Amino acid sequence: MEKTSIGNKIGFGGAGLSAQGGGYGFGSILSPKDLIEQAIESGITVYDTAPIYGFNHSEITLGRELKNIREKVQIVSKSGVSWHDNKRVNMTNDPKITRSMLESSLKNLNTDYIDIYMIHWPDKRVDIRYPLEVLAKAQVEGKIKCIGLCNTTKEDLGKALELVKLEYLQSECNFFSNPLIEFSEEIAQYEITTMGWGTLDKGILAGSVTEDSIFEKSDARSWAAWWKKSNWKEKVRLVNKAQERFNLNIIDLALSYSFNNVDISLCGFKKTKHIQTVINSLNNQIDSKTLFEVEKFLRIKD
């Protein structure tokens, strides 16, 4: 099989850098600097982050480590998930907050521009076109290069396409969840580049999460309601059964599925060796027929 270049195919998931700042993160990293340097040396050029990842910590860390190669990488950040002084999350697409968050991200990332700037989540209280007007103006000012939507809805996507040149869509994409399928017509018609987060479903599809896993305090999986409600132990059982049935490496399966469904697969790394594991999977891609069978198997409910 012909080898696949890393290029922009794999993106660095900045949520993994969050632990030291608290909040949404997945445990401590021994050396974020070494991790990012390894990603750079491995040829990864897309670095995804957001202010809420570690309450600015992820952005600040990436800004520091990418400063000397700024023109060689693409940075992705987002607006819409801020927080109060007590760190209670505030989800809003109020255009004033959109502008404030963009300016804050530029400062955190130590850069004059952000390559891809997205609205993080839908907000039923605010028409998506209002924050998009802010981003369109920022684009003219040169503060962002491309506009995107993350975790969007059909309605918001339609409104966005009427107002701006939308170049990126980001959503969860793995065997268990792939909302981007709903937007396949728009993606093709407008030639939108797609990004998938949750590629390894927070470790479940990496084989690093077991039914007995205990997560450290700095890992959101130790306390977050969304994790407790995610039915993660059932997923782990299904993944174990799938590996036995198909006799294939689960990471190769998960990466192949993502590569087949999105242009850029975002992966969170905690150790430098994890980067090489993911890169190796680029050359171990599984055929579409097998992926279809695995997806069907993993979506069976007990």
Please count the other Cβ atoms lying within 10 Å of the Cβ belonging to residue 1. Answer: 7
Domain-embedded: residue 131: yes
| Residue 132 CB contacts under 8 Å (≥ 6 apart), including other chains | 119, 147, 159, 160, 163, 164
β-strand partners of 174: 177
Query: Looking at residue 180, which CATH number applies to its domain?
Result: 3.20.20.100
| Strand (E) or helix (H) holding 291 | helix 288-298
Question: Using CB atoms within 10 A of its CB, is residue 49 exposed (0-12), middle (13-18) or buried (19+)?
Answer: buried
Domain-embedded: residue 147: yes
When divided into structural domains, the chain yields a total of: 1
Taking only Cα atoms into account, the Rg of the chain, rounded to an integer number of angstroms, comes to 19
Domain-embedded: residue 137: yes
Q: What is the pLDDT of residue 302?
A: 43
Low-confidence residues in the chain, pLDDT < 50: 1-4, 302
Domain-embedded: residue 67: yes
Q: What is the pLDDT of residue 1?
A: 36
Check: CB of residue 138 under 8 Å from CB of residue 144: yes
Check: CB of residue 124 under 8 Å from CB of residue 152: no
Find the domain containing 195 and state its range: 10-298
Q: What is the pLDDT of residue 20?
A: 74
For the CA atoms of 230, 234, 239, 241, the dihedral, rounded to the nearest 10 degrees, stands at: -170
Token readout for 299 is: 């979506």
| Residue 283 CB contacts under 8 Å (≥ 6 apart), including other chains | 1, 3, 4
Domain-embedded: residue 5: no
Domain-embedded: residue 1: no
242-272 as b/e: b if 16+ CB within 10 A: beeebebbbbbbbbbbbbebbbbbbbbbbeb
| d(C-alpha 12, C-alpha 75), whole Å | 10
Check: CB of residue 294 under 8 Å from CB of residue 175: yes
Q: What's the Cα-to-Cα distance from 261 to each of 48, 86, 257, rounded to whole Å?
A: 18, 39, 6
Q: Convert the pLDDT of each residue in 206-259 to its tens digit.
A: 999 999 999 988 888 998 999 999 999 999 999 999 999 999 999 999 999 999
| d(C-alpha 165, C-alpha 236), whole Å | 40
Domain-embedded: residue 3: no
Domain-embedded: residue 253: yes
